[in-house]
Amino acid sequence: MNVAKDRAVQIHYHLSDSDGNVIDSSRGGDTLGYLHGHGQLVAGVENALDGKAAGASLSVVVPPEEGYGVRDDALDVGIPLSAFPPESHDQIKAGVMFEGAHPSEEGASAVFTIVEVLPDRVHATANHALAGVTLHFELEVVSVRAATDEELAHGHLHGPGGHHHH
Ligand code: ZN
């Protein structure tokens, strides 16, 4: 069976950046299971896997536009430390996430990750960590099956490699 919309697909993936630094990999671990054609993987990966048969191996270079998006400079912000409640100051450190007003979309919120803490201010970003990164994937299609009606109704896989929330 080949990869197509509404099929349950198990893959192994190995993701590197353009310098060969490994970003993420399923090698040596569990396969990644997903419901094809529902936007669960970045577009460049789902497009490359479409029509492939179980057992297929492929290398794919995914530009940011088909990956995690381009960087938006408006989402890199500097915030005075005084804008945070004093009781929260000891929790403010790099890597901590918080929700705040979106810098360019009125009324919207965005999730920011603290990048750097200076004595009087915090640098944070709402850009995805992989925004602007060209993704180099090595992919292997391990298995393909039809999704069950229940999986299609939920929009995700059940069982090994899927959700276990039932
Ligand atoms: Zn479910």
Tens-digit pLDDT profile for residues 117-157: 999 999 999 999 999 999 999 999 999 999 999 999 999 99
What does the pLDDT read at residue 35?
Answer: 96
In a domain, 33, yes or no: yes
Burial 76-114 (b: 16+ CB within 10 A, else e): ebebeeeeeeeeeeeeeeeeeebeeebeeeeeeebebeb
Give the distance (Å) from ligand 1 centre to CA of residue 162: 8
What does the pLDDT read at residue 89?
Answer: 87
Give the distance (Å) from ligand 1 centre to CA of residue 110: 27
CA–CA gap between residue 124 and residue 117 (Å, rounded):
9
In a domain, 159, yes or no: no
Q: Is the pTM of this model over 0.95?
A: no
What does the pLDDT read at residue 165?
Answer: 64
Give the distance (Å) from ligand 1 centre to CA of residue 164: 7
CB neighbourhood size of 37 (10 A): 15
Give the distance (Å) from ligand 1 centre to CA of residue 50: 23
- Residues 57, 14, single domain; the answer is yes
pLDDT at 160 over 80: no
In a domain, 149, yes or no: yes
How many domains, the chain?
2
